[in-house]
Amino acid sequence: MEKANEAIAMLKELDLPISMEQLGKRKMLETEYLNENVIPQIQNFIQSLVEHLHKSFCLVVDYEYGEPVQVRLAEQTKLKGDTIQRLLKNGTPNKRVVSKKFKSERIQREWDTFLRSLPTGNPFFKYTFTQGYSSLSKLLRIIQSKDMLTYSSSLLKALNLPVHGKLTPTALINELEPEQLVQEKTKDGVKSKVALWTQSQKTVNQGQSRRIMVFEADGVTPIMIDKTKIIKEGQWSLKLLCDLIAQKEYFASKRSIE
């Protein structure tokens, strides 16, 4: 596991792409480490602390990379039937929920298919299509260039975007839904900016610059809140463009239902 982490860290330092195989291998090794080392030690330690207790209880351990470990008590009698089934299906309740509210499975499949279609013998193409660019204008210029359009056209078609190589930032922004544009105050006045919608778990200030995550009464189901994040320079990428189109479809579908 340490070797896998060192290899990935070296690629990040060299600003080189990290393959899905490398990330998958690290995930597998970390799962083995948890099952073979962490869980048995925690189980033995807790066993030594609770041997004289008569009360049944459920502990939830929540860990996020770079954040302190959180342990809380969840009353088993308050767990709803659907929550129990979700926990049984997902395995453990201590993982931070990844919201899929503003995502599209269809577009994610198209993105994965696109990556697999790139030449495997030349990492230049994958690097070009996955790195971030300083502006939407530069991103569109790169992916619509003659050489790159040979590969990107299939994905652009799947996103219902033109493949004539002349798509401009203004034309693209005009295609977005109103919810995807937010107002930002700048030194030159209020300007309209493109933003991505996300969901994150609600947190409260616990003092001493520490924040804890908030859950429903069952102690397991997270309380989620919607957020918008303005896209900054250097963040524009083809994957981000896919996310924008996915959210465009989400808001358009929501409006049609309303």
DSSP string of 121-178, one letter each residue: T-HHHHHHHHS-BS-HHHHHHHHTSHHHHHHHHHHHHHTT---SS---HHHHHHHS-G
Three-state secondary-structure class, residue 183 = strand
How does 123-136 read in b/e, with b if 16+ C-beta sit within 10 Å?
eebbebbeeebeeb
Instruction: With residue 19 as reference, give the H or E element that holds it.
Output: none
Q: What is the pLDDT of residues 34-80, one digit of tens each?
A: 888 888 888 888 888 888 888 877 888 888 777 788 887 765 544 45
Query: Does the reported pTM lie above 0.85?
Result: no
* Dist. CA 144–CA 149, nearest whole Å: 5
* Dist. CA 156–CA 175, nearest whole Å: 14
Q: Give the pLDDT of residue 94.
A: 45
Q: What is the pLDDT of residues 124-147, one digit of tens each?
A: 899 999 999 999 999 999 999 999
Average pLDDT over residues 153-173: 95
* Dist. CA 148–CA 101, nearest whole Å: 31
* Dist. CA 108–CA 89, nearest whole Å: 23
Q: What is the pLDDT of residues 9-26, one digit of tens each?
A: 777 777 777 777 777 777
Q: What is the pLDDT of residues 198-243, one digit of tens each?
A: 998 888 877 666 778 888 877 778 889 999 999 998 899 999 999 9
Mean of all residue pLDDT scores within the chain:
84
